[in-house]
Copies of this chain bind each other. A is one copy, B any other.
Amino acid sequence: MKSVNVNQNIIDLEYAVRGPIPQRAAILKQQGKQIIPCNIGNPQALGQKPITFYREVLSLLENPNLIIREKYISKNYIGDFDNISNYAVEISEYLLNNMETGLGGYTESKGYYFIRESIANFIDKRDNIDSSKSDLQSNPDNIFLTDGASEGAKAILELLISDKNDGIMIPIPQYPLYSATIRRCGGTQVNYYPDEDSDWTLNKDILVESFQKAKDNKINIKAIVVINPGNPTGAILDKSSIIQVIDFAEENDLAIIADEVYQENLYGSKFISFAKAIGDKSIPLFSLHSVSKGFYGECGQRGGYLEVRNPPPVSNSTLSFTELLFKVSSVNLCSNTIGQALVYLMVNPPQQGNDAFDNFTQEKQTILDDLFNKANIIRKSFEEMDGMECFGKIGSLYLFPRINKLPPKITDFEYCMTLLEETGLCVVNGSGFGQKPGTYHLRIAFLPSIESLKSVLPSWINFHNKFVNQ
């Protein structure tokens, strides 16, 4: 068989979240070792229960025959089991009435219109947009439902990158979807470095320095990616950082790609969306959200959306930017309908006064409290680890401590691999996300149960202090 020459961009791309360490973890697991998979924000893999209300609705959508039964059961007390809430039945009927082709048909390429409309309402409400200011309101025609948020990010990058000198600014460290996709599309990754010691804040100097250096190398920068709350840092961007990114983008005619999939993971802090902060400036903004994170954690069901604001004029086509995105989404046919339904549920939580509200609110709060609690427990354990420092206000699902002390010639990769071998704890080396040269980190998702943490953290502390002082 003749050997083939394959796409160099695919050969070059790297994706550490599922790279050598998790692959080794899979092998160890097959061999019977107990693994705690903290390499990825996959809550239900670590025991987080799905939100009951969501699953009630989804089950009724898959099998509408059950709706008749639910109505019967709710009228006649039957059997010794929890009933599906009346509100879940009501919402399922509403959804089925509006989903012209149910779950089984291809939808419009962008996703069901009524769901995009409800996303637009959610965004306006979240951002407190005055209903009289129609130019600030979200437009359902510029919303695309996607299989998770990654698909939206990929579509934007693929469209923006038309040449190897086209650059995209990304924070370092970053979620490797961005570096991988820029590489895959044949563009140039332009790093900027949030200030770790100041809790990963940003300022214009940082951004201008990176921009200027790339410009000097003849890179044509088209957009800046911001991940807020951060991945992998877990840090929440303060208002000043957000404003400086916006001013910088405006001054340099850049689009902003705002990865806001962790917007529910702020644990008490207030979320400021880029859409809100941009206000009436005409900066192109692409924002991403997903049902995979927050307190929903429905990663496997692959729901998400991309909102486009101020789509930029296109110089080399008579089609608009949104029309070109539409064309890409048509080739994909449509995102999966369960994911679309979940996005609807995410943007329309049960309200006080219906019978799903109390349980929903309690489940939500328990999950968020539990996450914050676990983050704090892990972070506290860093104090017992020699030379381990962690910055930023806790957000998203991750901690990204800096390993200030390591034996000579040992990197965070070897640290994490040995940690895995010795304790079963699977985390990702900082170099998988990029980091300032000479620094070392790791990313841990704060998802394992408290019991599991209580068992593994002492071993980690023990491992750490031996390893770094060897």
Contact = CB atoms under 8 A, between A and B. Distances in A.
A11 to B, nearest CB: 4
A78 B78 contact: yes
Interface in A155-180: 158-163, 176-177, 180
Contact of A1 (B1, B62, B313): B313
Interface string A19-33: 100000010000000
B5 A312 contact: no
A10 B108 CA distance: 19
Contacts of A299: 104-106, 333
A413 to B, nearest CB: 17
A222 B312 contact: no
A300 B109 CA distance: 11
A70 B450 CA distance: 33
B59 A62 contact: yes
Nearest to A72: B79
Given A100-B45, A106-B40, A301-B104, A162 B15 contact: no
A387 interface: no
Q: How many copies of this chain sit in the oligomeric assembly?
A: 2
A161 B332 CA distance: 19
A4 B184 CA distance: 20
Contacts of A42: 101, 105-106
B338 A301 contact: yes
A101 B46 CA distance: 8
Contact of A6 (B7, B82, B324): B324
A282 B1 contact: yes
Given A59-B59, A78-B79, A151-B332, 10 more contacts: A3-B312, A3-B315, A10-B158, A42-B105, A45-B106, A50-B103, A58-B62, A103-B300, A104-B297, A181-B331
23 contacts: A3-B313, A3-B314, A4-B315, A5-B314, A6-B159, A15-B327, A17-B330, A42-B101, A42-B106, A43-B104, A44-B105, A50-B104, A55-B65, A59-B63, A101-B300, A103-B298, A104-B298, A105-B300, A177-B331, A180-B331, A299-B333, A300-B334, A302-B333
